[in-house]
């Protein structure tokens, strides 16, 4: 039977607690402060009641109870401070580590995992969802201890006054502390997950709209885009309404049992009085102490309802962390040396969760210095050939060889050193032009950066900028043409100096003039190197020595 959720609540609790090991000292201090503070709250109510009774002459100990009441008040203030400070110190520290750990997981399973994923949703998981987990570390562990300790303490005190009081309180505590929280978590588990998923979709839509605002305005697509964002927003509101209804429904039941407990204590007092057993002072003290403990226990309801969203966020994060990469680093990597030949031998491939083969029994040999143009219809498998060569995926059948060595025996580090991949849209980071070019080779000197820019045909343009190579791309990126962005990408490749360069639709955003300039750059700056070039344009492939036509599978 297929599980409704990827992880049970028990699995997530264990895993989150395990992740919290580095901050266990902070958690221990905040939990101890929470327990002492909750007991002090009970003491304030109980000793305060006895103080008032002593002042009325109904019992002894006016000074004693007054001092104890004041001490409890001080403890409440001090413990609340310590609980808040240490719980958040620990929580925010572990959240920072979780973000780094999540990025490591994304890096491990990418780029195959990211193909087809909404970038905005992944960002939402990395930022907002992880931020939601702060509630578990800062506001859950302490209340879980107090929800056990306070009822036990109250029941013991009630038993000391009269077992009848303990007998009526025990079922109330079991209902509020055990049954209702479990029912609330089980009934609302899917609501929290749905809310986090829909919120991720909304944020992805908004992020995408901000990035593409220029195209939206140019093509007059604002109204349609606004409708899509509005629809996503309505879905978030519906999920939020579900959370609110669940929260208020669950919160109403403890109120009933809290008032029921007070009534039952009075009923017990009446029953005992009818039998000639009078404990007026004890009855009043137990009544106030039970009220204090029930109020603290009642807060568990709000903890539970907040945990629904926390569990939804945790599950989305764990799904990324536990995702299995399509390809793995070889246990005993073999160095291939400079790439002389590449051979696709009887390669068959279908993307995960699909039944249709993109490539079937594909065979092709590439030799050093070849300039291969790859043409074909959309979906025929042109980009798939490059992704298989880069080991984004592994063939379903057949093998790929580099210099006669099976591709899966070559380390990712060497593969990425020997093969460069330039996509149709070169991404520019919020850094200087020099730093953007240096991504291809972080240790490169400034002279090497300038030489790569010159060979890529972008040096003259850079020199015209006020800050030259120190120009910040965060300010300039939107003002660069497609050709200028491509040339910066080519400069990265040239700086890295790989054996092979793979290019996917490099001229798709260029006009005829800039396409001609790009091809000239490739002919001069990349002469003697192996090149594999995908394009729908026949003009882009004119300088290729061979054309590989890829046909879609039936």
Each residue's pLDDT tens digit, 57-111: 877 888 988 999 999 999 999 998 998 899 888 888 888 889 889 889 888 888 8
Measured CA to CA, the distance from residue 59 to residue 50 in angstroms comes to 8
> In this predicted model, what pLDDT tens digit does every residue of 134-144 receive, in sequence order?
888 888 877 77
Measured CA to CA, the distance from residue 517 to residue 543 in angstroms comes to 13
- Continuous segment of H or E residues that includes residue 521: helix 512-525
| Region of residue 144 (left: phi > 0; alpha: psi -120 to 50; beta: else) | alpha
Secondary structure, 3-state, 148-169: HHHHHHHHHHHHHHCHHHHHHH
- pLDDT at position 71: 95
- pLDDT at position 2: 46
Which of 179 and 407 is assigned the larger pLDDT? 407
- pLDDT at position 52: 85
DSSP-based three-state secondary structure for 349: strand
> In this predicted model, what pLDDT tens digit does every residue of 230-252 receive, in sequence order?
898 899 898 888 888 887 777 77
CB atoms within 10 A of CB 270: 11
> In this predicted model, what pLDDT tens digit does every residue of 379-393 receive, in sequence order?
888 889 999 999 999
Mean pLDDT computed over every residue of the chain: 84
What is the side-by-side strand order in the sheet with 419-422? 419-422, 500-504, 530-534, 371-376, 546-550
Q: Which two tokens stand for residue 124?
A: 């939402």
Measured CA to CA, the distance from residue 142 to residue 130 in angstroms comes to 20
Cβ-proximal residues to 366 (8 Å cutoff; 6+ apart), any chain: 341, 342, 343, 372, 530, 532
* Backbone phi, psi, residue 404, to 5°: 80, 0
> In this predicted model, what pLDDT tens digit does every residue of 444-500 receive, in sequence order?
999 999 998 888 888 888 898 888 899 887 666 667 777 788 888 888 888 888 889
- pLDDT at position 446: 93
- What is the mean pLDDT of the segment spanning 289-304? 73
Asked if the model's pLDDT at residue 405 lies above 90, the reply is yes
Nearest Cα residue to 95 out of 41, 53, 54, 132: 132
- Do 177 and 148 form a contact (C-beta atoms < 8 A)? yes
- pLDDT at position 477: 62
- pTM reported for the whole predicted model: 0.76
Q: Which residues of 358-380 are buried (b: 16+ CB within 10 A; e: fewer)?
A: bbbebebebeeebbbbbbbeeeb
- Do 90 and 142 form a contact (C-beta atoms < 8 A)? no
CA dihedral 155, 156, 162, 167 (to 10 degrees): 30
């Amino acid at each position: 039977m297929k599980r409704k959720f990827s992880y049970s609540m028990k699995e997530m609790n264990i895993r989150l607690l395990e992740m919290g090991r580095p901050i266990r000292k902070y958690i221990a201090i905040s939990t101890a402060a929470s327990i002492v503070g909750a007991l002090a709250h009970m003491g304030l109510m109980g000793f305060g009641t006895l103080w008032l009774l002593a002042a009325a002459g109904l019992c002894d100990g006016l000074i004693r109870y007054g001092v104890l009441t004041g001490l409890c008040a001080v403890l409440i203030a001090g413990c609340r401070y310590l609980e808040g400070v240490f719980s958040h110190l620990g929580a925010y520290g572990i959240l920072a580590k979780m973000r780094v750990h999540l990025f490591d997981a994304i890096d491990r399973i990418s780029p195959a995992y990211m193909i087809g994923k909404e970038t905005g949703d992944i960002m939402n998981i990395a930022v907002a969802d992880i931020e939601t987990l702060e509630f578990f570390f800062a506001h859950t562990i302490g209340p879980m201890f107090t929800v056990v300790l306070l009822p036990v303490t109250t029941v013991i005190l009630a038993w000391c006054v009269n077992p009848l009081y303990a007998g009526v309180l025990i079922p109330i505590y079991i209902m509020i502390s055990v049954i209702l929280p479990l029912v609330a978590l089980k009934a609302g588990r899917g609501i929290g997950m749905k809310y986090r998923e829909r919120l991720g979709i909304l944020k992805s839509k908004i992020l995408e709209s901000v990035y593409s605002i220029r195209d939206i305005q140019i093509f007059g697509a604002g109204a349609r885009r606004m409708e899509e964002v509005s629809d996503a927003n309505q879905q978030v509101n519906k999920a939020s309404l579900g959370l609110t209804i669940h929260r208020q429904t669950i919160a109403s039941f403890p109120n009933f049992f809290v008032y029921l407990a007070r009534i039952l204590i009075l009923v017990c007092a009446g029953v005992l009085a009818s039998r000639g057993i009078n404990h007026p002072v004890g009855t009043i003290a137990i009544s106030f102490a039970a009220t204090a403990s029930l109020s603290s226990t009642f807060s568990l309801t709000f903890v539970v309802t907040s945990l629904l969203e926390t569990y939804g966020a945790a599950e989305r994060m764990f799904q990324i962390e536990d995702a299995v990469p399509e390809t793995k680093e070889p246990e005993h990597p073999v160095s291939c040396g400079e790439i002389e030949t590449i051979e696709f031998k009887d390669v068959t491939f279908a993307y995960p969760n699909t039944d249709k083969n993109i490539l079937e029994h594909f065979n092709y040999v590439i030799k050093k210095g070849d300039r291969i143009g790859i043409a074909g219809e959309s979906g025929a498998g042109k980009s798939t050939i490059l992704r298989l060569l880069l080991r984004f995926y592994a063939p379903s059948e057949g093998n790929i060889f580099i210099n006669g060595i099976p591709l899966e025996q070559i380390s990712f580090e060497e593969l990425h050193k020997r093969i460069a991949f330039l996509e149709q849209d070169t991404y520019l980071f919020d850094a200087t032009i020099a730093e953007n070019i240096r991504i291809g080779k972080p240790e490169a000197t400034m002279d090497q950066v300038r030489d790569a820019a010159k060979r890529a045909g972008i040096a003259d343009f850079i020199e015209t900028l006020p800050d030259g190579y120190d120009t910040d791309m965060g300010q300039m990126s939107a003002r660069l043409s497609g050709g200028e962005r491509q040339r910066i990408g080519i400069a990265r490749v040239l700086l890295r100096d790989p054996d092979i360069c793979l290019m996917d639709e490099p001229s798709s955003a260029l006009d005829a003039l800039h396409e001609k300039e790009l091809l000239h750059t490739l002919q001069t700056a990349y002469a003697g190197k192996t090149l594999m070039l995908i394009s729908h344009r026949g003009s882009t492939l004119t300088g290729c020595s061979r054309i590989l036509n890829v046909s879609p599978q039936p």
